Structure 1
Amino acid sequence: MKVSTRGEYALRALIVLGHRPNTVMPIAEIAEKTLVPVNYLEQILLQLKNLGYVKSKRGIRGGYKLRKSPEQIVIGEVIRQLEGPLAPMGCVSVTAYDPCPLEEGCLLKPLWTLIRDTVAHLLEQTTLDDLLSERIPNVKKKAGIK
């Protein structure tokens, strides 16, 4: 799994909005804080809006704010919706399985499965609130990672 710039920028925008979850922020302010060009950020925020993570307000005092609380926004869910499957290879994907002619008896498949499971588990244990509170050590503990 590789997170694209779109995925990273979306998470950056959610973090910025999460610092002031009840405040409508102008897109220019979000762009300045995330270092994302306004035109690209508009596309990303529209996608986040369509997915139900943010809502927009039009007008002179318009902008974006979170639709869900930071505790309700699971990073794994966001990444899957923006990027697709978390699996490093199609033969171990839960949501987009792609068979391989060498799959039976493949000695790599257990490794790809472990990577998929570890990444998915960690991302599904992490909320926007965890990131905002800098609680990654607690997330690692919940995920059973030392």
Structure 2
Amino acid sequence: MQLTRFTDLGLRVLMYLTYRDRTAFVTIGEIAEQFEVPHNHLIKVVNKLGKLGWLHATRGRNGGLKLVADPQYLKLGTILRELEGSTQLIDCESPPCALKAGCRLKSALDVGLEAFYRAMDDVRLADIVAAPTGDKIVTLHHHYLSLHH
């Protein structure tokens, strides 16, 4: 199983925004530069995260992004389910599989995927940004500010 690029970027955005001692909003440009990803890819991700109520985006010269979800309560399983948009590893319907009527593969994969999501429900956003990750986020942000201000 591999997460989509969309989910990967969504996780990085949420992680980067957990640093609470910021004096200003974080721009999409900052995140794009930090993670070396195209600006337009991040816009789609940020829109989805905003619709989910996890971040707030403000337009304009002094605008940017701010995390509004509490990292202590936002579960990794929830994030992954929402961003992946699919709860199955294979689709036996499209195109129709000749083995569908007598195959046990899909049910085995479904059980495994559900176990994965249950395990991810035990991990909070706050857990994945604990040291040393959180320290690295602070360092990245300070480095960005020193280069751009």
Supply the distance in 1 between the matched residues of 2:39 and 2:75 (Cα, whole angstroms): 25
SS of residue matched to 2:56: strand
Give aligned pairs, total: 128
Paired residue for 1:118? 115
Q: Which has the higher contact order (CA 8 A, sep 6+)?
A: 2
1:32-71 equivalences under 5 Å are: 32-71=33-72
2: CA distance between counterparts of 1:103 and 1:49?
39
Which residue in 2 is equivalent to 1:72? 73
Question: CA offsets per residue over residues 7-48 of structure 1, 9 Å max, x none?
Answer: 101111111111237652111111122222112111210111
**Shift, 1:69, TM fit:** 1.2
Unaligned runs of 5+ in 2: 133-149
User: CA separation in 2, counterparts of 1:113 and 1:8?
Assistant: 22
Q: Which amino acid aligns with 1:19?
A: Y
Question: Can you give the 5+ residue segments of structure 1 that lack an aligned partner in the other structure?
Answer: 92-98, 136-146
Percentage identity across paired residues of the two chains? 31
Task: Kindly provide the amino acid, as one letter, of the partner of residue 18 in structure 2.
Answer: G
**Where do 1:71-90 residues align within 5 Å?**
71-90=72-91
Cα distance in structure 2, aligned partners of 1:31 and 1:107: 43
**Alignment correspondent of 1:13:** 13
Q: Who wins on radius of gyration, i.e. which is larger? A: 2
Contact 1:6/1:44 (8 A) holds in 2: yes
SS in 1 for 2:72: helix
